[in-house]
Amino acid sequence: MEKIEVGYDAIDKTGNLAHHKFILYTRADGSTFQIHGGGSRDYGYSPVEELVSSGVPGLVGFGHLSAKVFKSSAKQQENALLAPREVIFEGEDLSRTFFKMAGMAQGIAEQESKYHADSNNSNTLVDRIVQWSGGRAPDLDKKHWSPGSLDDQEFDPEFFSKLPPILWGKDTYSKHKDVVGQLFKNAGEDAGEEDLQIEGALDPLKTPQRETDGDRAVMEQAGRIDWGATEETIRQRHVNEPALAAGIIAELASAKSLGSAWEQDFATRYGDYLVFERGSESSASDLLPDDPALPDRTDLSGYSPTANAVDPGSLIATGSGQERQSSYDTYRQLGSTPEEEAAAVDEYKALLKKSYVDVGGQSRVAEALATWRFERSWGLSGFVPEGQGTVVKHPVEKMYPDPEKDGHGYVRKDAESVLEARGIRAARWYLSPNEKSGRDKNKGMTDDQGLGPRMTLSYDDESGVRHTVTDSFQADVRSAVKGKREARGRMRRVEAGHAGPELPNAAADVAPTPVPAP
């Protein structure tokens, strides 16, 4: 079993307070490869160098953020294994995953963004690569302080795992051909530089050659590509040329990842390697087999800002039970006023522009990334007083986690507790975002007491008159997450056959939810 980890090198000059992140790939044979970020002037790659900022007067700047990718020597491997680490990916063969990470590290380096030790450094580079590769947010940086790390909210494995390599480095092959040869060579064989003479073959974002009519006919007639059999054919034909095989196999991975145009391009140049699955009704571009070794192609069809929003008809915050909502009420308008709609459109345009720059001009990827960023703040809600089907900014569903997947039951319970404590009988109550909500969320999921972002709690009385209770309502996120974690732990003990004594009621040792001041 292979694994890709994020490691944390302590910076002794800070009393081991600050850390330098790096990526460590351990292969089945025990060999390791590493990715480190740093400055283009050869500073910032080590924990000690990470301490110094290019913004300090009198010191030579580090230049732009750059990257080093290499196979570990015995000493380098020994040092890496001494550092705290956490597993991000695990699988039978992660060579392609690591290769994609290396390509994106090179892409970040080619952006030549200015290095800064506390905001654009090795930790930033590592987190960005993990994020773009579809990895989860690293956890150990909460224990091992790593300045420049991304916020956990930036990570979304379900979304990013569907994308092709973001910001792929056009010089990935030429800059790291030794690593490529070592990654994909047959075990025990060394690949010399003279064996790696297929420039450009490893760029998954290159403009494909125009497919010929013959290629198209072959693709349509034969059905979908048998990716595993094709890879085995390449290996067998070049058993004595491991570096050449590595380049062709890497391009095969890109063809599968990026879809029809790249499949046809591969067929144009390497058609005699292809093996097809016979009897398939679909073409290779319509149906790709599920093979973890070669990541699935991007499928962004139908992606919309509200695709993952909560169905407003599923849970409605009312004092008299839930009301069924028809699908006619879904996705009715963007913003509750023309001004909000205009602001939403402007915000999306700005995000699209930023995303286009961030991904190096890949238009489809930029559109998907901008949409993902937009829907992190905007969405439907079952808590707001606006008509159902209105997309609003910073609703409860975007501000608060839902650990039980029950429509934020703990938020509802806390809101009803506040109303009950004040002796309020509400025909219907609401939670709406205000100017504090987004500002609070940007500072973190909770405050130091474990309470979430502030929102406005209001209600309608029995005569239909609306009243504001407070603009500082906060639900108890920490207790909700803790309860879920303890329940999961009990379940694991039961499954293991030694449940042990029942844990005390989580609610018994948690302070009651503070009632926010009006």
- Four-residue CA torsion sign, 123, 129, 132, 134: negative
Domains in the chain: how many in total? 3
Q: What is the pLDDT of residue 242?
A: 64
pLDDT exceeds 80 at position 411? yes
Structural domain includes residue 224? yes
Reported as a single tens digit per residue, the pLDDT across 143-167 is 999 988 998 888 988 888 877 778 8
Average pLDDT value for residue range 249-257? 67
The H or E element containing residue 334 is strand 333-334
The distance from CA 283 to its chain's CA centroid, rounded to whole angstroms, is 30
Q: Based on the domain organization, do 28 and 152 belong to the same domain?
A: yes
Q: Based on the domain organization, do 17 and 162 belong to the same domain?
A: yes
- Detail the DSSP E strand segments found in 242-362: 333-334
Quick check: helix, strand or coil at residue 220? Answer: helix
Residue reference for tokens 């590592």: 126
Structural domain includes residue 415? yes
Structural domain includes residue 371? no
Query: Rounded distance, CA 264 to CA 2, Å?
Result: 32
Distance in Å from the first CA to the final CA of the chain: 56
Q: What is the pLDDT of residue 169?
A: 85
Q: Based on the domain organization, do 233 and 157 belong to the same domain?
A: no
Q: What is the pLDDT of residue 174?
A: 84
pLDDT exceeds 90 at position 436? yes
Look at 30-34, 211-215, 329-333 and tell me which has the smallest mean pLDDT: 211-215
pLDDT exceeds 70 at position 371? yes
Q: What is the pLDDT of residue 229?
A: 85
The DSSP secondary-structure symbol of 176 reads: S
Domain limits at 272?
218-276
- As a whole number, the mean pLDDT across the chain is 75
Structural domain includes residue 358? no
Cβ-contact 332, 391 below 8 angstroms: no
pLDDT exceeds 50 at position 14? yes
Centre a 10 Å sphere on the Cβ of residue 175 and count the other Cβ atoms it contains: 20
pLDDT exceeds 50 at position 416? yes
Of 260, 276, 292, the one marking the end of a domain is 276
Structural domain includes residue 16? yes
**Percent of the chain at pLDDT above 90?**
30
User: Which one, of 303, 297, 441, lies nearest residue 370 by Cα?
Assistant: 303
User: Which one, of 372, 373, 377, lies nearest residue 398 by Cα?
Assistant: 377
The H or E element containing residue 4 is strand 2-10
Q: What's the pLDDT band for 323 if we cut at 50, 70, 90?
A: low
Query: Rounded distance, CA 66 to CA 45, Å?
Result: 9
Q: What is the pLDDT of residue 316?
A: 40
More confident residue, 518 or 80: 80
More confident residue, 487 or 37: 37
Of 276, 292, 313, the one marking the end of a domain is 276
Q: Based on the domain organization, do 50 and 167 belong to the same domain?
A: yes
Of 177, 203, 234, the one marking the end of a domain is 177
More confident residue, 294 or 28: 28
Q: What is the pLDDT of residue 23?
A: 96
Q: Based on the domain organization, do 151 and 231 belong to the same domain?
A: no
Q: What is the pLDDT of residue 444?
A: 77
The H or E element containing residue 354 is helix 338-358
Q: What's the pLDDT band for 25 if we cut at 50, 70, 90?
A: very high
Give the gyration radius of the chain's Cα atoms.
27
Candidate ranges 247-251, 253-257, 369-373, 420-424; pick with highest mean pLDDT: 420-424
Query: Rounded distance, CA 100 to CA 465, Å?
Result: 58
DSSP 70-136: EE--HHHHHHHHHS-EEEEEEES--HHHHHHHHHHHHHHHHHTPBPBTTTBSHHHHHHHHHHHTTPP
Q: Based on the domain organization, do 406 and 265 belong to the same domain?
A: no
Reported as a single tens digit per residue, the pLDDT across 306-319 is 333 333 333 344 44
Structural domain includes residue 343? no
Reported as a single tens digit per residue, the pLDDT across 101-125 is 999 999 999 988 888 777 788 899 9
Q: Based on the domain organization, do 56 and 160 belong to the same domain?
A: yes
More confident residue, 491 or 455: 455
Q: What is the pLDDT of residue 299?
A: 39
Q: What is the pLDDT of residue 325?
A: 55
Q: What is the pLDDT of residue 260?
A: 59
